[in-house]
């Protein structure tokens, strides 16, 4: 046990003082493809929370593409190392967002109590875990109301804030102004459509052509999209009448150069992804003569650079959009990891889903429900 105590300040450390094996976490010991390196572990109850911290029961946690990048080792943030008594080396628990319920509050915690719902605003909190101990300042409480479902709450930390902040932080948009985006069917893209609509902004939404394109167009139009176009349809447009000052990019590559041509003078092109795995490649003349500004947005940076008050204000505004019916649940499915399964069975289930996600076979968000295993 000496080793665990010695490094406790630098990493999470699960005590062995509680006996019951009531929790389960997914983890990796070294970076690699998740279908190879992801494992599961059953471990004892958490000790009572130290001053200023909370113990949480995680209810639902999404498998986001960036979580896969974290495990692969190609993401610029990693979880803190965690020490388990039953593993002879440090491990890393993935999971950047999720809905949790407060099970116990430590001394000096105010404004939060047992039974409250919270979401984590500290990046890489390790939510692929049935239990967590976190600082009270690293969560935001959200209301337990009928309109705000567990799925809403579990997916509230990354995608809707990305959409919300990209529509606020770069261009002073007024009702009636236009925004153009690619990857419009992504979770962020769908949030952009809905949040823009709530502000009376108009959206031009680009998607890849596909078999069920008309069905997809209807879905996005029902969410509030003003125009939905494939890249081919955009290329055929000859008029560029609209003065578009904000473009949102999660694709990069050639289709984004095409989109950028539709931006007006002094526009901002904000990137939050690169699904084409191609660079962002634009004619230099757009920068020089049209005064284009290209920037990036990363919700993790937003959280770490803003005060707790700003984080709470933003989350509360999103909650208000959800409870007033203006921001719908993302398309999703829940993957339950049953209490009766062994750690190996649990790990295999998640590995299989990630393998499918990597093949691009999931059009919907997958959320983990990790049941507390039997002792």
Enumerate binding residues for a copy of itself (CB under 8 A).
76, 249, 252, 257, 271-274, 279-298, 301
Output 29 or 278, the one with its CB closest to a copy of itself: 278
CB 265 → a copy of itself: shortest distance, Å?
10
Contact of 145 with 117, CB cutoff 8 Å: no
With respect to a copy of itself, which residue has the nearer C-beta, 184 or 223? Answer: 184
Nearer to a copy of itself, 27 or 262 (CB): 262
Distance of alpha carbon 158 from the chain centroid:
3
Give Cα separations from 121 to 214, 308, 309 (angstroms): 37, 9, 12
Token pair of 338 as six digits: 């049953």
Known active-site residue 75: yes
**Distance in angstroms (rounded) separating the CA atoms of residues 86 and 84:** 5
Please report how the helices 308-323 and 187-198 are oriented relative to each other, as an axis angle in degrees rounded to 10. Answer: 80
Kindly tell me which of 50 and 291 has the beta carbon lying closer to a copy of itself. Answer: 291
User: Please, what is the minimum distance in Å from the beta carbon of residue 158 to a copy of itself?
Assistant: 13
Residue 162 C-beta: closest distance to a copy of itself, Å? 10
CB of 305 vs a copy of itself, minimal distance in Å: 10
Question: Whole-number minimum distance, CB 277 to a copy of itself, in Å?
Answer: 9
Placement of tokens 């398309």 in the chain: 331
What whole-number distance in Å separates Cα of residue 351 and Cα of residue 297?
A: 29
Q: Distance between CA 212 and CA 205 in Å, rounded?
A: 16
Instruction: Report the C-alpha gap between 215 and 227 in whole angstroms.
Output: 14
Strand partners, 365: 332
> Which residue lies nearer to a copy of itself by CB, 281 or 336?
281
Report residue 343 as tokens: 């750690």
Choice among 27, 75, 262, 303 that is catalytic: 75
Burial of 122 (0-12, 13-18, 19+ CB in 10 A): middle
Q: Within 10 A of 310 (CB to CB), how many other CB atoms are there? A: 12
Between 89 and 254, CB nearer to a copy of itself: 254
181 Cβ partners below 8 Å, 6+ apart? 189, 192, 203, 204, 205, 206, 247, 248, 249, 250
State the nearest-atom distance from the C-beta of 291 to a copy of itself, in Å.
6
Tell me which residues are annotated as active site.
75
């Amino acid at each position: 046990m000496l080793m665990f105590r010695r490094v406790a300040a630098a990493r999470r450390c699960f005590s062995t003082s509680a006996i019951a094996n009531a929790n389960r976490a997914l983890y990796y010991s070294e970076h690699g493809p998740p279908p190879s390196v992801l494992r599961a572990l059953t471990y004892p109850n958490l000790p009572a929370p130290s001053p200023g911290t909370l113990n949480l029961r995680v209810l639902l946690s999404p498998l986001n593409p960036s979580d896969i990048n974290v495990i692969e080792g190609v993401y610029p943030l990693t979880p803190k190392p965690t020490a388990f008594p039953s593993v002879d080396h440090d491990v890393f628990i993935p999971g950047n967002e999720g809905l949790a319920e407060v099970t116990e509050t430590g001394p000096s915690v105010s404004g939060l109590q047992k039974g409250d719902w919270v979401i984590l605003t500290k990046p890489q909190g390790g939510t692929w875990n049935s239990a967590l101990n976190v600082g009270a300042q690293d969560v935001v409480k959200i209301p337990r109301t009928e309109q705000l479902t567990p799925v809403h709450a579990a997916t509230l930390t990354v995608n809707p804030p990305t959409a919300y902040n990209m529509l606020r932080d770069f261009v002073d948009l007024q009702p009636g102004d236009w925004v153009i985006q690619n990857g419009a069917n992504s979770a962020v893209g769908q949030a952009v459509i809905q949040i823009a609509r709530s502000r009376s902004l108009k959206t031009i939404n680009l998607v890849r052509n596909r078999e069920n394109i008309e069905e997809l167009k209807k879905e996005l139009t029902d969410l509030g999209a003003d125009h939905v176009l494939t890249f081919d349809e955009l290329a055929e447009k000859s008029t560029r009448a609209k003065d578009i000052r904000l473009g949102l990019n999660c694709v990069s590559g050639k289709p984004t150069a095409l989109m950028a041509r539709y931006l007006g003078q002094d526009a901002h092109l904000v990137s939050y992804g690169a699904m084409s795995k191609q660079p962002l490649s634009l004619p230099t003349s757009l920068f020089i003569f049209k005064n284009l500004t290209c920037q990036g947005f990363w919700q993790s940076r937003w959280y770490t650079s803003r005060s707790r008050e700003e984080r709470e204000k933003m989350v509360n505004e999103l909650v208000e959009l959800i409870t007033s019916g203006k921001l719908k649940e993302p398309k999703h499915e829940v993957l339950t990891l049953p209490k009766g399964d062994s750690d190996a069975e649990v790990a295999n289930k998640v590995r299989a889903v990630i393998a499918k996600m990597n093949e691009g076979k999931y059009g919907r968000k997958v959320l983990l429900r990790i049941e507390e295993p039997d002792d």
